[in-house]
Amino acid sequence: MPEAESRALTSLSDDETMFRDAVRAFAAAEVAPRVDAMERAGSFDRSLIGKFAELGLMGIDVDSAYGGAGGTFFMTMLAVEELSAVDASTAILVDVQNTLANAPLSLWGSEDLKRRYLTRLAAGTVGAYALSEPGAGSDAFGLATRAEACDGAWTLTGRKMWITNGAEADIFVVFATVDPGRGYKGITAFVVERGFPGFGVGKKEDKLGIRASSTTELILDDCRVPADNVLGEVGQGYKVAIETLNGGRIGIGAQMIGVSRGALDAALQYVRERQQFGKPIAEFQAVQFQLAQAGTDLEAARLLVYNAARLRDARQAYTKEAAMAKLFSSQAAERITSLCVELFGGYGYTKEYPVEKFYRDAKIGAIYEGTSNMQLQTIAKLLLKT
């Protein structure tokens, strides 16, 4: 068991422990050997997707009636944490698949949509979530993308930005407004396939971290979408978006604790081996105290993430807890990975050792699926309300 892992994991059920261990073994055997090549190429090794599906990672908490593994949201968080401890780019593909593509279809989709799309997603077709636009980031409901009813279908026109899995996905949950005059009450969610007329994938971003994960724009040019592909109800897309992102934020928290754990495990090994002044640097109290603080931050972040995931599975209110988990875990990841780079000294600043990658991968946690300021706003609002 990795040194930086918490004893709190003893609270897992036997099934959860077996699942976590299976994902950990998979990450070590299949993901780790590919990390360097994917990082250098800045692209995801698609041969992993079929392996994800074989392990059940493409539909972890999708009902078995639709080909899913029939697990829990908490198990999804375990998978994301384990994969992130090896490679955050790999983890985010699985995370978005489960929390932002499968989840809204499971919760809001008609039986027809579930049969048509959840079955494909669980079998290995990649999904993505398209809400953000050039002018709609933190103001997520300031959408310019329009949806117009036309001859028994809908046509979507606009651009989407920062779409994770955009290069690999074939199924997209896309948000557009049917009536700008109605504000957020005009927003509607649609299930869009890559092959629909008028749909295109545009520029792929060249990023600081999670470089193997694709982040693209989508171009909708009178994209024709069948009427039956409305997800939820017309004008209720804001509810789909909010509920989906609340769960997604826990997923980012799980990603950040995995990144933190991967970096800290590497540093714990290094400080035992690195000799200065005639002894391992692990024997210096200043180093020990910094590691102690990092371990405490990681433990606190993990418990926040696990608690939020358990609340979601129990169908209890979890919005505040999800925001807290994402906020703190992303802050902790920046602190922990930065410390680990410093503990490696000059080596930590090179690509010869893994900590510089963990450091770069940690930064996105404070940005996507709601910036830290947006999490603070949510937390404050709910604290004052109660």
Could you report the per-residue pLDDT of 223-253, keeping only the tens digit for each?
999 999 999 999 999 999 999 999 999 999 9
> Average of pLDDT values for 335-353?
97
Helix %, strand %, coil % of the chain (to 5): 60, 15, 25
pLDDT at 275: 96
For residue 60 the two structure tokens come to 């972890």
300: Cβ contacts below 8 Å, ≥ 6 apart? 328, 332
Contact indicator for 97, 120 with CB cutoff of 8 Å: no
Burial class (CB in 10 A: 0-12, 13-18, 19+), 41: exposed
User: 52-61, 130-139, 249-258, 339-348: lowest mean pLDDT where?
Assistant: 130-139
Sketch out the chain's domains with CATH numbers.
7-126 (1.10.540.10), 128-235 (2.40.110.10), 239-385 (1.20.140.10)
- Contact between residue 112 and residue 228 where contact means Cβ atoms under 8 Å apart: yes
Q: Assign 21 a pLDDT band (cuts: 50, 70, 90).
A: very high
pLDDT, average across residues 157-168: 98
pLDDT at 60 over 60: yes
Q: Where do we find the tokens 């109660």?
A: 386
Q: Residue 138's pLDDT is what?
A: 84
Minimum mean pLDDT range among 119-123, 178-182, 277-281: 178-182
Rounded to whole angstroms, the Cα distance separating 297 from 290 reads 11
Q: Express as a percent the part of the chain with pLDDT over 70.
A: 97
Nearest residue to 66 via CA among 32, 110, 114, 131: 114
Given CA atoms 122, 310, 361, 262 in this order, what sign does their dihedral have? Answer: negative
| pLDDT cut 90: percent of the chain above it | 95
Question: What's the pLDDT at 285?
Answer: 98
Task: Indicate the residue type of 230.
Answer: V
Structural Rg of the chain based on CA atoms: 21
Which tokens in the block code for residue 103? Answer: 């989840």
- 314: buried, middle or exposed (CB in 10 Å: 19+, 13-18, 0-12)? exposed
Predicted pLDDT at 10: 47
Residue 7: pLDDT band (50, 70, 90) is: low
Cα dist from 112 to 31, 118, 191, 292, whole Å: 35, 10, 12, 52
Q: What is the pLDDT of residues 127-140, one digit of tens each?
A: 999 999 999 888 87
Query: Rounded mean pLDDT of 142-170?
Result: 96
Mean pLDDT over each residue of the chain, to the nearest integer: 96
DSSP 45-94: -THHHHHHHHHTTTSTTS-GGGT-----HHHHHHHHHHHHTT-HHHHHHH
Give, to the nearest 10 degrees, the angle between helix 319-343 and helix 355-362.
Answer: 150
Average pLDDT over residues 46-53: 98
3 has a pLDDT exceeding 80: no
**Catalytic machinery residues:** 369
User: What does the alpha-carbon distance between residue 328 and residue 372 come to, in Å, rounded to a whole number?
Assistant: 9
pLDDT at 139: 85
pLDDT at 110 over 90: yes
Q: What band does 11 get if pLDDT is binned at 50, 70 and 90?
A: confident
Query: 69: closest CA among 122, 119, 146, 32?
Result: 122
pLDDT tens digits for range 300-311:
999 999 999 999
pLDDT tops 90 at residue 142: no
pLDDT at 280 over 80: yes
Over residues 194-213, the mean pLDDT reads 98
What mean pLDDT do residues 348-376 have? 97
